[in-house]
Amino acid sequence: MPMQTHSGPTVLFVKSLLGLQMTGRENAVLGVVEDVALDESGKVAYIALAHGGLLGTALGGKHFAVPFGAIAIHNDGQGGLQLTLDASAAELAGAPGYDPQNPPLAADASFHEGPAMTLRV
């Protein structure tokens, strides 16, 4: 479901993020959004990014707990969303990630947090 622009707060549905590709520097595909973790208050704790797996999944790859504030969300110009992260595929390949059987309770602090959301029409 595309995000709509209006004068009030913007709302995203989790289902609109799941399975989306996240790109990084130089438009390199970093992985796909596998899940969205919520904290006890119901706010987004982090986006679970599946990186480097087979057929666009994390099977054989890594998982990263990316802070929501580190991701820029844009309209893709075709009615969908585009997610970008200020990271390279090489940086993710060299980072430890987390075990999906034991997900973290908080986002990985090594990701730089910028604005919570940037909407570019």
Please state the pTM of the whole predicted model.
Answer: 0.79
How high is the pLDDT of residue 8?
A: 47
Superfamily of domain 15-94: PRC-barrel domain (2.30.30.240)
Q: Where are the beta strands (DSSP E) in the chain?
A: 21-23, 29-38, 44-51, 62-66, 71-75, 81-85
Q: Is 62 left (phi over 0), alpha (psi -120 to 50) or beta?
A: beta
- What does the pLDDT look like over 39-82, one tens digit per residue? 999 999 999 999 976 654 556 689 999 999 899 988 888 888 89
For the chain, the domains span 15-94
